[in-house]
Structure 1
Amino acid sequence: MTHLDAIRAAGVLAVLRAPSPEAAISAVGALVAGGVTGIEITYSTPDATEVIRELRRTHGENITLGAGTVLTAAQADEAVDAGATFLVSPGTEAALASAMLSTGAAVLLGAMTPSEVMEASRLGAHVVKLFPASLGGPSFLKALRGPFPEVPLIPTGGVNAANIGEWVAAGAVAVGAGGDLCSASAMAQGRWDVIEDTARIFADAYAQATYSEVSA
């Protein structure tokens, strides 16, 4: 299975902006217990590289683990060395894209407009991250599928358990979810039970959405 296949199989990528390394590690434990195994540790999390290293050590290949908010070539290299198998940048910039691709990891480049989708694809992105997806919603992603039927799109921003089915029906190959899945308040309060319960709701919603698509 390629790194991209693993992202598709995970379906839901939890985008973690944790307040501390300890909170990130505990939150991932809760997410996995709830059935969400796609994990994106953003570089806004303190000591993100060490968090990735520890998660790879403790969870092994049972999670699809990546780094998000990658803004420099050094971050890309460090993250992959620590065990990340995918890298996510919020935008598309040629030199950074080249550095990310050179690591051998799956590369997700951020885009919003048709021109940005074209540029991300031209630079070699394995997946285009539609961000912030809340600005256009599922109907915008569906519209992009017209001129770009072969470009894998993952929406991030505006994805919740109630609308996962709409994103899947619009053509998303997976979804990224941040605060609606793993909230800052739940992490700050150590409510890992809440995060686990929410993860279960997200995982069930995604499974139902993909089943409905296959059955349609």
Structure 2
Amino acid sequence: MNGNRDLSLKEYVIKQTKSTGILPCIKLHKKDDYIAYAQAMYDGGARVIEVTMTTPGVLEAIEAISSHFGDKLLVAAGTVLDPTSAREVIMHGGSIIVNPCVVDDVIDLANRYNVPVFSGAFSATEVFNAMRKGATMVKIFPGALGGPKYMTNLKMVFPDVNLIPSGGITPENAAEFIKCGACAVSGARTFMDFGKIEKEGLISVTNQVKKFIDIIAEAKKDLPIIP
């Protein structure tokens, strides 16, 4: 999965995640639906998405999405709790391993394969442990619990850590999270409203993704330019 890019996979993942400012999650019960939802998110501007290992047929879904989109849309596997699962994700074309918390042996395996790993954390201690083990980025969950001001506090201690709040992110608070130091925002219900999907179809997913990207791009205009 190198395409025509010159960056390493880790560098490319960081670049793509930061460029859009979003990591939308897909949670479905039918593996055959993943391509359509992934396409809807891609059409809205997403370049990195996450699927969760707690749903049926997810490995086949990862393989299908990876094969269909290649480098254009990178697939992260969420809720990876053990090295065996992590290895299966990599073998099926997954580009990123995501832990809900710091899982040492999973981070070790991902780094052995030079695959980016996003480790879940909340406290400063957990963020530190994730980075010490070699996490590429850190997902702060639940993001809404501490809110944007908590993100500011974490960035004061860890200015060089890429933080992604997840859970409870809305169009109303996404910009503030970015202004307070988040490099991107994440979530499932954040981007997939099944009530709207039932009424409007998958165009509602595309529109929601685009809405968040526009909000985040506008928020970034107020940030200082770092050479």
Q: TM-score, normalised by structure 1?
A: 0.91
Q: Does 1:5 align with 2:41?
A: no
- 2:149 pairs with 1:139: yes
Q: Which one-letter code corresponds to 1:19 in the other structure?
A: H
SS in structure 2 at match of 1:140: helix
Equivalence map 1:144-159=2 (5 Å): 144-159=154-169
AA partner of residue 164 (structure 2): I
Cα RMSD (Å): 2.0
What's the offset of the Cα at 1:110? 0.6
- Whether 2:118 is the aligned partner of 1:118: answer no
Mapped to 2, the partners of 1:79 and 1:185 lie a distance apart of 30
Q: What is aligned with 1:108?
A: 118
- Shift of the 50–148 alpha-carbon distance from structure 1 to 2, 3 Å rule, reads same
Structure 2 vs 1, CA of residues 58 and 84 (structure 1 numbering), >3 Å: closer, same or farther?
same
In 2, Cα distance between the equivalents of 1:54 and 1:189?
27
CA distance in 2, matches of 1:186, 1:66: 25
Q: Which residue of 2 aligns with 1:95?
A: 105
**Is 2:203 the partner of 1:178?**
no
**Equivalent residue, structure 2, for 1:161:** 171
Amino acid at match of 1:16: I
Q: 2:213 aligns with which of 175, 178, 203?
A: 203
For 2:135 and 2:21, locate their aligned partners in 1 and report how far apart those are by CA, in whole Å. Answer: 18
* In 1, Cα distance between equivalents of 2:148 and 2:26: 22
Match of 2:78 in 1: 68
Contact 2:20 2:213 in 1 (8 A): no
**1:188 Cα deviation (Å)?**
6.8
Q: 1:60 to 1:13 in 2, by over 3 A?
A: same
| From 39, 60, 71, the counterpart of 1:50 | 60
Q: CA deviation at 1:127?
A: 1.0
Task: Return the alpha-carbon distance in structure 2 between the equivalents of residues 191 and 104 of structure 1.
Answer: 38
Tell me the equivalent position of 2:46: 36
Contact map agreement 1:76 1:103 (CA 8 A) in 2: no
Shift of 1:96: 2.3
8 Å contact kept, 2:81–2:103: no
Flag structure 1 segments of 5+ consecutive residues without an equivalent: none
Aligned partners of 1:13 and 1:58: how far apart in 2? 19
| Runs of 4+ residues over 6 Å off in structure 1 | none
**Structure 2, unpaired ranges of 5+:** 1-6
Give the letter for the 1:47 counterpart.
Answer: G
Aligned equivalent of 2:4 = none
**TM-score normalised according to structure 2 size:** 0.87
Structure scoring higher RCO (CA < 8 A, sep ≥ 6) equals: 1
1:5 offset after TM fit, Å?
Answer: 2.4
